[in-house]
Structure 1
Amino acid sequence: MKNLVLAMGLTLSMASVAWAEGQTHHVAIHVDENDPQVMNMALNNVANVAKYYESQGDTVIVEVVAYGPGLNMYIPDKSPVADRISAMSLEIPNLSFAACGNTKAAMSKKAGHEIELMAEATVVPSGVVRLIELQEQGYAYVRP
């Protein structure tokens, strides 16, 4: 009986440590439209999720994945949200931006020169595949 009480006490102690440290949440946000409203809604979702979980004492890891026409979100001269992306990347910990390599290659070919992306964007081979990988890793999926 004494061992059972000790084990229960240890379990409760471990649970309270886990509770005090908060949870970690993972969110993938999908942008595939060249629409300023959609891009801003995606970034609003990022800001709201980060603010909410921070207020709960939790951590959130967010990755915004853009492909197709949504890749314009990361092209400095075309992006209507470039300033927001730059500011948010500095203000929100654990926020990353993934750019579809397939889309970038197609846009570069069509333009006749290499398309440059914002420094905050990391090129992944495929935006769709990246979303699949994130969901397989347990990320919640959001499409504004």
Structure 2
Amino acid sequence: MKTLLRGLLAAFLFTAFAAPATQAFARDKVVYHINDAEQQALAALRNVRNQLDTVPDTDVVVVAHAKGVDFLMENYKDAATVGPLISALHARGVKFEVCEITMKQRNLKKDQFVLDADFTPSGVVEITRLQQKGYAYIKP
């Protein structure tokens, strides 16, 4: 009987205290969803910068599709404004993912994008996958 009680107490203590401790040490993970560069890109980049300034070890992925890919293109009209932010954030570990479905639909090529851009077969699938992996979803 004592052995059973000790086992139950140990299981209770492990459940009560080990799980919260594990969660307390988990890294923050965030996916930013951009589908309209004009309306969202600059605000998103500033939000990402603020997030990393507050919690530097956050894993951040910016996923762009539809009109959202424009800010990652070399010839973007506001490249002088967003370019330095993209480079600085990429240097801090932020991943920028461009939707290849969008590229195909708009007849865009990989060499039209900034060097800091990576590519994913589908932007919405990538967002879904990241959320399933525990990434918080933010749409600026």
Using structure 1 for the length normalisation, give the TM-score.
0.74
CA distance in 2, matches of 1:100, 1:25: 24
**What is residue 132 of structure 2 aligned with on the other side?**
136
CA distance in 1, matches of 2:126, 2:33: 10
**What is residue 81 of structure 1 aligned with on the other side?**
82
* Structure 2 SS opposite 1:68: strand
What is the one-letter code of the residue matched to 2:64? A
Unaligned runs of 5+ in 2: none
Kindly indicate whether residue 58 of structure 2 is the aligned counterpart of residue 60 of structure 1: yes
Unaligned runs of 5+ in 1: none
What is the one-letter code of the residue matched to 1:38? Q
CA distance in 1, matches of 2:88, 2:54: 19
* Structure 2 SS opposite 1:63: strand
Residue 23 to residue 117, structure 1, CA distance change in 2 (3 Å): same
Identity %: 28
Alpha-carbon offset, residue 97 of structure 1: 0.5
**What is residue 103 of structure 1 aligned with on the other side?**
102
Larger displacement relative to structure 2 (38-47 or 61-70) = 38-47
Instruction: Give yes or no for contact 1:107–1:115 (8 Å, CA) kept in 2.
Output: no
Using structure 2 for the length normalisation, give the TM-score.
0.76
CA RMSD of superposed structures (Å) = 2.9
CA distance in 2, matches of 1:114, 1:68: 15
Task: Give a deviation string over 1:19-41, Cα, whole Å, max 9, x none.
Answer: 9x943011000000031x52111
Alpha-carbon offset, residue 114 of structure 1: 6.5
CA distance in 1, matches of 2:67, 2:22: 42
Kindly indicate whether residue 44 of structure 2 is the aligned counterpart of residue 45 of structure 1: no
Give the number of aligned pairs: 131
